[in-house]
Amino acid sequence: MWLYLVALVGLWNLLRLFRERKVVSHLQDKYVFITGCDSGFGNLLARQLDRRGMRVLAACLTENGAEELRSKTSNRLETVILDVTKTESIVAATQWVKERVGNRGLWGLVNNAGIAVFAFNEWLNKEDFAKILDVNLLGMIDVTLHMLPLVRKARGRVVNVSSAMGRISLFGGGYSISKYGVEAFSDSLRRELSYFGVKVAIIEPGGFKTALSSNDRVSPALKMLFDQANSEVKEIYGENFLSSLKSLMETCTEDLTLVTDCMEHALTSCHPRTRYSAGWDAKLVYLPMSYLPTFLTDAIVYLSSVKPAQAL
């Protein structure tokens, strides 16, 4: 019986592999709009798709980021300045995209822009949470709603960058909250747009070394939040969390193509997946943990994490 089961699973994987290898035709005529292209996943994906001959419309937060990206790509790639937290900036970018795609519509929308803060919840205030949600969730929703008519016209793709932390919350702060929201919004969007032939994919990376997660950026930001907390909170928690986070960041994967390859597949395959888990930690640790009973997950996190200074 086990032999039949193994054979069935193997056959199913072979059929899925064959099905997913079918590539969309006329890629060189298709436009893809990507947010957050100053660095990290967005920057690499823009260069990757440009090398493949696609028409990349890259949104950057800064002019320096846009200039640097243009210097590394072909004349096909075009850039626009976009702040996803400002509706007027999104409206202007949408009009800019309309002028370029014309009647063809927008084949791909990649919502990649994001920020992160990892800390104990008690170190933070409402504004700290709002900053994360404004970029990672509300900004993504605003961009999507403005671009949807163009994507629907092309019967194209929406690719939303979530996180393994959108499956299981290991840290306080607004990051996991925002990524849980990305998962929920993407699920509802996928079902609604299926009636129009539009496909929605979610990318769920594990830990990767980007500007977003570098110790040069994360540690000072976390130290600043700790310094801003009141004296009672400082005494209760201590600074052990800083060294714990630094150790975690050092385990992050450097190969960003593990994520951008998933994004490219979601945009170019005739049969993209609904979800892509990128990175060994996402596949072997975080995703399995998200399916465990809550008490087991809590026990694993409790035993593996650094405790507050005055923990029981």
Q: Edge-to-edge, what's the strand order for the sheet holding 55-60?
A: 78-81, 55-60, 31-34, 108-111, 157-161, 199-205, 275-278
Question: In 142-153, which positions are buried (b, 16+ CB within 10 angstroms) versus exposed (e)?
Answer: bbbebbbebbbb
Length of the chain in residues, anyone? 312
Is 4 inside any structural domain?
no
The pLDDT tens digits of the residues spanning 13-62 come to 677 676 768 888 899 999 999 999 999 999 999 999 999 999 999 999 99
CATH number at residue 72: 3.40.50.720
pLDDT for the residue numbered 59: 97
Residue of 4, 31, 175, 180 with catalytic role: 175
Structural domain range at position 290: 27-304
Is 18 inside any structural domain?
no
pLDDT for the residue numbered 278: 93
Number of domains in the chain: 1
Query: What are the structure tokens assigned to 202, written together?
Result: 């979610």
The pLDDT tens digits of the residues spanning 98-127 come to 999 999 999 999 999 998 877 778 878 899
List, for the chain, all residue ranges whose pLDDT scores fall below the cut of 50. 215
Handedness of CA 296, 299, 301, 304 (dihedral sign): negative
- 115, 135 in Cβ contact below 8 A? yes
For the entire predicted model, the pTM comes to 0.88
Residue 175 a catalytic site member: yes
